[in-house]
Amino acid sequence: MALLSIRDLDVRYPAAGRLVPAVRGVNLSLCEREILGIVGESGSGKTVSCLSLMGLLGPRAEASGTVHFDGRDIDVADVVHDRRQGLLPLAMIFQDATGGLNPIRTVGSQIAEIFVHRDGASQKAALDKAVELLESVGIREPRERASSYPHQMSGGMNQRVMIAMALAASPRVLIADEPTTALDVTVQAQICKLLRLLVEREGLSIIFVSHDLDLVTSFCDRVAVMYRGEVVECETSEEIRRAPKHPYTAALFAAIPGHRPPFSQLEEIPQNLDVSPAIPAAQIDLPKVDMTPRLPSEPVERPAMIEVSDVAYHFAKRRWLSRSTHVTKAVDGISFSVPAGTTFGIIGESGCGKSTLASLLIGDRAPQSGSISVGGHSMAELLANGRRAYANRVQMVAQDHYGSMDRRQTVGPQIEEACHIHFPNRPIARRREDALRMLKAVGLDETHYAKLPHQLSGGQRQRVAIARALIVEPDILICDEPTSALDVSIQAQVLNLLLKLQRELELTILLISHDIRVVAHMSHAIGVMRAGVMVEQGPAQEVLTNPRHAYSRSLFAAAPTSRRVENPMSLPGTEPLLKDAVP
């Protein structure tokens, strides 16, 4: 018997003089002690469905439908604008845990205030209860931590505090909206383990919203897949993994790197996929995808394009009037070499120094020791003739596709500008021709030439960024988290594009990512970074299947993968539950 069920939920927002549906006819049910996953890409309505239960849709939203909770029938219209949750014992946690806590109040007081104002508890009794709750969500030294401020804690710890705060409201159902998306994979595994523990111990039921199909199908009991405001499939995790019924689910799986052999083409989900229930799933045509690997996964002997030997970069921070100097070894003695035309993938969690390494490689900072050489020439030698000579060979694609563009200039001229800087003698007509040719190469056309960055989608912007980097005909492309801000289906397009370009242009790619699946799919060789050091590197297959370093092993174990997890409680949580972020 379901504890909570939602029937025929419709949510509409007024826009341009009419009501635009955000969620259409959604039916969901949640059993007691169950974790229900809701998965979908941005705009699929997964978050809106949850917010409507919490009264957080905003005053302009219109909603209809019924909620059936524990034997009572409640009209959605009654809860949709009621934040106080007079009707439903629900609590919610969010993606940005640190932002969700008041920065100028201690975490303990933010939990304790609930007991003071709801139960009339004394300040001291309330704080004691808060400390108890902090302990129950796995925060060590809870009494000391209760008097800490959010900025003094890690993201994972703040998420635990958020969970404790949610529990303070004694909810029956916890709604978790992308609670681990901003966290490192090892911390993500710990938070998931904590949520599972709360189900077992407190009898909580959880709705877990995520964009990551691998994560929800390994962690949740049942999974609802949402697409364009509708639930297209709702099944047990095992069933969805084994045999997804709806073509969108199947396509979503096929878009995730890791479900196809490395270097093979990923599924690109068409933007106009018609999934209306009237059409039987079998009749929906998805383009057939060529599954053959596009590059030899066995690296052939090729000359090294990048050689990095013993490079170090330390940030020394010396405080005024202080004798001690605090040194952060962002990059500490890293060596590797990348054969021409291959991809070297670098995996690491936040703060491991991978972005500092990228800035060293594009010549943004000079290494304090060690040397970098490109195509047999040392970086110093190339930089001696000005940055241009170096930039001619090494280009970069950044994670922030919007921030890396001029918002007031159309994208065509931005591509031409790079061409003009590097080939000043090229006639203007030829420049335009080159820019158009490059746009075609990245799968765009002349209609995109005169668009402003905000008129393009995220995936299109990232294509433009790639075009802009490649127009100067570099040998090396450094991609720093190139797809981390994109939806899975768009990620698939960009990764496919990179594979195609590498094949056609003999590009050497340095791919930096926190996502092991992306790196595994794209790389010939892999390096694992931690605290400025490359703890392990080698051919991709070898590192992935047989990691030698303990850190690589725990990192790979914590990451959601295509592997099937038999018992969710055995979800690889690496170290014990109470251990927070890896130092």
Partner 1 sequence: MTRTVLTAVARLVITVLLAVTFVFVILRVSGDPARALLPVDAPEDQIAAVRAEWGLDKPLPEQYVTYVMKLASGDFGLSLNDRQPALRVVVEKIPSTLLLMGTGLVIAFTVGSALGLLAASYRGRAPDRLIMSLAIFVHSIPSFLFGILLILLFAVALRLLPSGGGPSLLHLLMPAAVIGLSQAGVVARFVRSSTLEVLAQPYITVASLKPLPRWYFIRAHVLPGSALPLLTLFGFSLGGIIAGAAIVESVFAWPGVGRFLVFSVARRDVAVVQTIVVLVATMMAFANLATDLLYAIFDPRLRTS
Residues in the chain: 583
- Residue 425 interacts with partner 1 (CB under 8 A): yes or no: no
Query: Candidates 33-41, 182-190, 315-323, 375-383 — which segment interacts with partner 1 by CB under 8 A?
Result: 315-323
User: Could you tell me the smallest distance in angstroms from the CB atom of residue 96 to partner 1?
Assistant: 6
Q: Give the per-residue contact string, 55-94, with partner 1 (x = CB under 8 A; - = no).
A: -x--------------------------xxx-----xx-x
Pick between residue 137 and residue 436 the one whose CB is nearest to partner 1. 137
- Residue 320 interacts with partner 1 (CB under 8 A): yes or no: yes
User: Could you tell me the smallest distance in angstroms from the CB atom of residue 55 to partner 1?
Assistant: 8
Of 157-176, which residues contact partner 1 (CB under 8 A)? Answer: 162, 165, 169
Residue from 62, 78, 96, 417 that binds partner 1 (CB under 8 A)?
96
Cβ proximity of 19 and 13 under 8 Å: yes
- Select from 196, 191, 171, 167 the least CA-distant residue to 179: 191
- Select from 37, 33, 46 the least CA-distant residue to 222: 37
User: 277 burial class (0-12, 13-18, 19+ CB within 10 angstroms)?
Assistant: exposed
Query: Candidates 103-111, 340-348, 377-385, 518-526 — which segment interacts with partner 1 by CB under 8 A?
Result: 103-111
- Residue 99 interacts with partner 1 (CB under 8 A): yes or no: yes
- Select from 70, 17, 26, 69 the least CA-distant residue to 45: 26
Query: Candidates 113-121, 188-196, 277-285, 478-486 — which segment interacts with partner 1 by CB under 8 A?
Result: 113-121
Between CA 491 and CA 259 the distance in angstroms is 14
Cβ proximity of 311 and 336 under 8 Å: no
User: Could you tell me the smallest distance in angstroms from the CB atom of residue 58 to partner 1?
Assistant: 11
Pick between residue 149 and residue 315 the one whose CB is nearest to partner 1. 149
Residue from 21, 25, 43, 100 that binds partner 1 (CB under 8 A)?
100
Pick between residue 100 and residue 539 the one whose CB is nearest to partner 1. 100
Between CA 335 and CA 310 the distance in angstroms is 5
Q: Where are the alpha helices (DSSP H) in 137-242?
A: 142-146, 155-168, 185-202, 213-219, 237-242
Between CA 456 and CA 468 the distance in angstroms is 15
Contacts of 296 (CB under 8 A, 6+ apart): none
Backbone φ and ψ for 492, nearest 5 degrees, come out as -60, -45
- Residue 545 interacts with partner 1 (CB under 8 A): yes or no: no
Reading the block at residue 200, the tokens are 């077992």
Backbone φ and ψ for 205, nearest 5 degrees, come out as -115, 145
Residue 236, beta-bridge partner list = 222
Contacts of 123 (CB under 8 A, 6+ apart): 112, 116
Pick between residue 16 and residue 320 the one whose CB is nearest to partner 1. 320
- Residue 388 interacts with partner 1 (CB under 8 A): yes or no: no
- Residue 50 interacts with partner 1 (CB under 8 A): yes or no: no
Three-class secondary structure of residue 312 per DSSP? strand
Residue from 288, 319, 323, 407 that binds partner 1 (CB under 8 A)?
319
Cβ proximity of 188 and 19 under 8 Å: no
User: Could you tell me the smallest distance in angstroms from the CB atom of residue 145 to partner 1?
Assistant: 14
Pick between residue 120 and residue 576 the one whose CB is nearest to partner 1. 120
- Residue 105 interacts with partner 1 (CB under 8 A): yes or no: yes
- Residue 252 interacts with partner 1 (CB under 8 A): yes or no: no
Of 198-237, which residues contact partner 1 (CB under 8 A)? Answer: none
The footprint of partner 1 (CB under 8 A) covers 54, 56, 83-85, 91-92, 94, 96, 99-106, 110, 113-114, 117-118, 149, 151-152, 162, 165, 169, 319-322
